[in-house]
Structure 1
Amino acid sequence: MNAITRSQVYVLDQDEALDFYVGKLGLEVSTDQDLGFMRWLTVRVPGDPGREILLEKPGPPALDPATAEQVRELLTKGALGGYLFMTTDDAHRTYADLVAKGVDVTDEPTDRPYGIDFGIRDPFGNRIRVGQMH
């Protein structure tokens, strides 16, 4: 193995996910394709074609209907969010920008041994750490 190219988080509404990840976080759509059995929707940091985030609705082909319903219930309760880790050149500026856009902040920028980071949450409970690394 030589690279991680794709990560995945579950979302309940892919259009709402696009509004958040593209409209608020500033990512760009990499792929938005109807495969018939699912919508393959990925986003990425602009200019970084090597890594994508799959914004996947719980359902086929990965999950049978009963399991998909359980996943949706856990997401709705905030009990099943995934984690994403992103970096920025200026944590305080990024934090202020995201607050102004109404992003759900879980903790404010804090100095840590590795840099400055803070937490946000997407509309589906997925947790995101944003860090300015030393």
Structure 2
Amino acid sequence: MKIHLTSVFVDDQEKALRFYTDVLGFVTKHDVPLGADRWLTVVSPEDPDGTELLLEPSGHPAVRPYRTALAQDGIPAASFAVDDVRAEFDRLRERGVRFTQEPLETGPVTTAVFDDTCGNLIQIVHSK
């Protein structure tokens, strides 16, 4: 068994698509109209057949309190592996990404957390 799909709730799918592709560097895998919303997934260009990230509309009433609680407590909605957190932190900050946690080493793991502009905190991580 392996993870095929995971999701983050987003306020605006088009805005999220631009952020996740133009800023973070993911590529669109599926973009299927579903009425007012879309089945919209992105993947890593390094693993185009790997785990998909669904940019899921946040319209369900349970989403707002859930995301608000996570953000208020500083809990990331997702975690992305990178080769070098400090290098990725610098690259993303140059692209205007706002970090809520600068790179932090905790033993063999380094993390940083940023705001995805779509209602989520996202963690980047690498292990030694």
User: Which of the five TM-score ranges fits, normalised by the shorter chain?
Assistant: 0.7 to 0.9
Q: Which residue of 2 aligns with 1:132?
A: 126
Give every structure 1 segment of 4 or more consecutive aligned residues whose post-TM-superposition deviation is greater than 6 Å. Answer: none
Q: Which residue of 2 aligns with 1:110?
A: 104
Describe the superposition over 1:67-95 as per-residue Cα deviations: whole angstroms up to 9, x where unpaired: 3xx635x48x8445661111111211110
The answer to whether residue 60 in structure 2 is matched with residue 71 in structure 1 is no
Distance 1:123 1:41 in 2: 17
Q: Which residue of 1 aligns with 2:52?
A: 52
Distance 1:120 1:14 in 2: 18
Distance 1:91 1:109 in 2: 7
Q: TM-score, normalized by length of structure 1?
A: 0.80
Could you say what secondary structure the match of 1:125 adopts? Answer: coil
The answer to whether residue 95 in structure 2 is matched with residue 96 in structure 1 is no
Describe the superposition over 1:23-73 as per-residue Cα deviations: whole angstroms up to 9, x where unpaired: 1111110101113363100011113212011101134xxx4xxx3xx635x
Q: Which runs of 5+ in 1 are unaligned?
A: none
CA shift at 1:106, angstroms?
A: 0.8
Q: Which residue of 2 aligns with 1:25?
A: 24
Higher gyration radius (CA): 1
User: Does the 8 Å CA contact 1:78/1:124 hold for their aligned counterparts?
Assistant: no
* % identity of equivalent residues: 35
Could you say what secondary structure the match of 1:20 adopts? Answer: helix
Total equivalences in the alignment:
123
CA shift at 1:5, angstroms?
A: 0.8
